Structure 1
């Protein structure tokens, strides 16, 4: 697993004293304050970096709004960010994708979540002292970004790309992109350990669904939250040709795109 993308609790514990390693807790503020958090973590709740008013593609909040969040959290562009939640990383992965899209070079997902950390390491309710920064975003260009739009998806369908639907089975049966395979994002998570499954096991699970490095992979769900987790995991495993349909099925249906229904 590539540590420049996903880090273990042991890695984070060993780097907590590094002033350039900034930990971001994306849970609701009541959880951050009332339940406790990783020492030194700042709270940037999920809803604060999600916007459904079309300010940017899909539910992205816009580069300036996101930069304002990081500025208030005392984060600089050169910092290493490690994000976590308490839901197997799915909300934190959305933060990772958003930060990458707006040009933050070094942002990583904690392997596991708050509960996984709490099993082995101390937590605190003490809020860190913050010194605001003047964060300047550097959004990726269309050529640099993994995000694709409706027209790109149409082209990928013609190329017979591997479309991966990360939703639950009832959602998949109600409507899906033509030829898509259903791969529930939670397939990569060990529920008992609250961590990702071992790398070799992940490779086997992905291969069972035809998700392999030699294929062009296009990820989608409903509103791009769940595919964020799958995207981060695939990148950490070294998958290079992975596209991220930010508009997902919500946009596809709004444009009257072709769908399949029913069980496979």
Structure 2
């Protein structure tokens, strides 16, 4: 399995071969129901404390929770480092995408996003309720070979490169108030189909990106002020075959503090 995104039908046929991860809150997982065999890793357990970057954390680390927290949470959910993980939420995949990118940053390379969410799954497939018993593991993170995170200096160099498309996944008014030089504004929701609750068909995605000046084969630099939005766009681009993706989580306040310029609309 090579695609970073998998369909609900594919997952239904492979439930015994993967570890399904539900990143919703525990009350949703237990009471509303979950995909059979799923384990619960609530999103708030794998995010850093609010405003970590502004407090002086490494911008390349962004809002990652830290290795010790990641190992504790995944071990508590019974996940092994070699498991094939398929993550989902009930919000078009935006929170699950953040789980996926976090996993990549900590060396768990075999991670996939369910195309759709719990509501999409429950239309055609069985759900479970209650809290399953989980056998904890000694999860150990690995050095990542696929982490997309980059630092300030890498971004600074990328902004002067002719072959880099800079994508700002914030809201249009945020982009207009100030953005990295040459950045293109792209709302992650433009890539989502409201009916299927997953990504739009590939041809539509490619057309949307082309309209924003992003074409296949381009190097792409992504940034935002919300980790889950940039993560979702990252997954969509990986799904389409984009390979050279840079992921910057430093804040624009930190950018300006270093004396770097911003543009405004």
Output the TM-score relative to the length of structure 2.
0.91
**Equivalent residue in structure 1 for 2:201, among 189, 198, 203:** 198
TM-aligned CA deviation for residue 223 of structure 1: 3.4
Alpha carbon RMSD of aligned pairs, Å? 1.7
- Where do residues 23-172 of structure 1 align in structure 2 (5 Å cutoff)? 23-52=20-49, 53=52, 57-140=61-144, 145-160=147-162, 161-172=164-175
Contact 1:82 1:107 in 2 (8 A): yes
The answer for the alignment partner of 2:10 in structure 1 is 11
Aligned partner of residue 87 in structure 2, secondary structure: strand
Contact 1:27 1:86 in 2 (8 A): yes
TM-aligned CA deviation for residue 251 of structure 1: 3.6
Q: Deviations over 1:66-100 (max 9, x none)?
A: 01111110010111100001111111000000001
TM-aligned CA deviation for residue 113 of structure 1: 0.8
TM-aligned CA deviation for residue 256 of structure 1: 4.4
Output the TM-score relative to the length of structure 1.
0.91
The answer for the alignment partner of 1:220 in structure 2 is 223
TM-aligned CA deviation for residue 4 of structure 1: 3.4
Contact 1:176 1:259 in 2 (8 A): yes
Aligned partner of residue 234 in structure 1, secondary structure: helix
Q: Which runs of 5+ in 1 are unaligned?
A: none
The answer for the alignment partner of 1:210 in structure 2 is 213
TM-aligned CA deviation for residue 250 of structure 1: 5.1
TM-aligned CA deviation for residue 185 of structure 1: 0.7
CA distance in 2 between partners of 1:210 and 1:175 (Å): 19
- Where do residues 238-253 of structure 1 align in structure 2 (5 Å cutoff)? 238-249=241-252, 251-253=254-256
Q: Does 1:185 align with 2:188?
A: yes
Q: Deviations over 1:84-137 (max 9, x none)?
A: 011111110000000011011211000011111111111121322211111111
The answer for the alignment partner of 2:19 in structure 1 is 22
Which deviates further from its counterpart, 111-120 or 205-214? 205-214
CA distance in 1 between partners of 2:78 and 2:253 (Å): 34
TM-aligned CA deviation for residue 178 of structure 1: 1.1
Tell me which stretches of 4 or more aligned residues in structure 1 moved more than 6 Å: none
CA distance in 2 between partners of 1:90 and 1:252 (Å): 25
Q: Deviations over 1:6-62 (max 9, x none)?
A: 1000011111123xx111111112221221111111111111111134666111011
